[in-house]
């Protein structure tokens, strides 16, 4: 079985990616980054999802981005906004919940793990549809990181590429939920809320909650989120 790294945030998207990687016959090694995010419940959720999926290994690595700040997700002095208005979304404004270089850092650590365990693919839940304002959620970002990975690693020097798989990148939240439900994903284990309580109760008002609820509505499936 081909060995892969799956980046697990504990949210709906990465739980779906994990199921997709296993459905594709991959031996999955999950990696969760604790980056000083407000929503620590996600870390706990990631652990439960990984256990439930019986992954080959699960690792948590801390990168304390709270020393950097400037995002509402890591800096407690910046309030988490309620859902953005459509004008801001259409103007492709970068939201205040954007964590500078977060996906670059996450993929870099995943790359270190992939190289260390001999994995040839990194799977991640990057999505360009809902997160249209995040620069590091675009297909061109994934391609640029693959180019970097080819040059940055021992595997790359030896002609062996490490690929970045982002199967959700062009899917809507409803499509993701339908696909995951078809693969048996238990979405009650996942946490999306930007300010979930430690026990995983969602606020129901932030942008992540709003997108999640609309996703279940659009999919015509019951929303198992605890609000």
Summarize as ranges the residues that interact with a second copy (CB under 8 A).
59-65, 67-70, 94, 98-105, 108-109, 111-113, 115-116, 135-136, 138, 140-141, 144-145, 147-148, 151-154, 156-157
Q: Answer yes or no: are the C-beta atoms of 31 and 61 closer than 8 Å.
A: yes
Smallest distance, a second copy to C-beta of residue 109, A: 6
User: Measuring CA to CA, which residue among 110, 83, 93 is closest to residue 9?
Assistant: 110
- Residue 218: phi and psi, rounded to 5, are -65, -35
Rounded to the nearest whole angstrom, what is the least distance from the CB of residue 213 to a second copy in the complex? Answer: 27
Q: Report the C-alpha gap between 6 and 18 in whole angstroms.
A: 6
d(CA 58, CA 142): 23
In this complex, which beta carbon is closest to a second copy, that of residue 111 or of residue 211?
111
55 in Cβ contact with 27 (< 8 Å): no
Task: Select 68 or 221, whichever has its Cβ closest to a second copy.
Answer: 68
Q: Which CB, 109 or 221, lies closer to a second copy?
A: 109
**Structure tokens that stand for 225 in this block:** 């989120």
**Nearest distance in Å: CB 187, a second copy:** 28
Q: Which is closer to a second copy, CB of 40 or CB of 203?
A: 40
Please state the closest distance from residue 63 (CB atom) to a second copy, in A: 5
- Residue 126 CB, shortest distance to a second copy, in Å, is 11
Question: What residues are paired with 28 via a beta bridge?
Answer: 4
Q: How far is CA 209 from CA 187, 190, 196, 226, in A?
A: 13, 12, 10, 11
Give the single-character DSSP code of 98.
P
Nearer to a second copy among residue 18 and residue 164 (C-beta)? 164
């Amino acid at each position: 079985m081909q060995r892969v790294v799956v980046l697990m945030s504990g949210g709906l998207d990465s739980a779906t990616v994990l199921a997709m990687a296993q459905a594709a016959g991959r031996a999955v090694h999950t990696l969760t980054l604790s980056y000083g995010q407000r929503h620590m419940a996600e870390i706990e959720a990631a652990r439960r999802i990984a256990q439930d999926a019986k992954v080959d290994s699960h690792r948590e690595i801390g990168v304390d981005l709270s020393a950097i700040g400037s995002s509402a997700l890591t800096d407690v002095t910046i309030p988490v906004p309620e859902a953005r208005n459509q004008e801001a979304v259409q103007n492709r404004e970068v939201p205040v919940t954007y964590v500078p270089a977060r996906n670059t850092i996450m993929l870099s650590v995943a790359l270190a793990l992939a190289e260390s365990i001999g994995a040839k693919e990194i799977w991640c839940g990057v999505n360009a549809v809902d997160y249209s304002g995040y620069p590091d959620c675009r297909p061109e970002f994934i391609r640029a990181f693959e180019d970097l990975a080819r040059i940055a690693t021992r595997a790359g020097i030896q002609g062996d590429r490490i690929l970045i798989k982002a199967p959700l990148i062009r899917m809507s939240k409803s499509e993701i939920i339908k696909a995951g439900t078809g693969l048996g994903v238990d979405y009650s284990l996942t946490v999306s809320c930007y300010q979930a309580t430690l026990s995983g109760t969602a606020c129901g008002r932030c942008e992540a909650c709003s997108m999640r609820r609309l996703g279940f509505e659009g999919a015509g499936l019951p929303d198992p989120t605890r609000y």
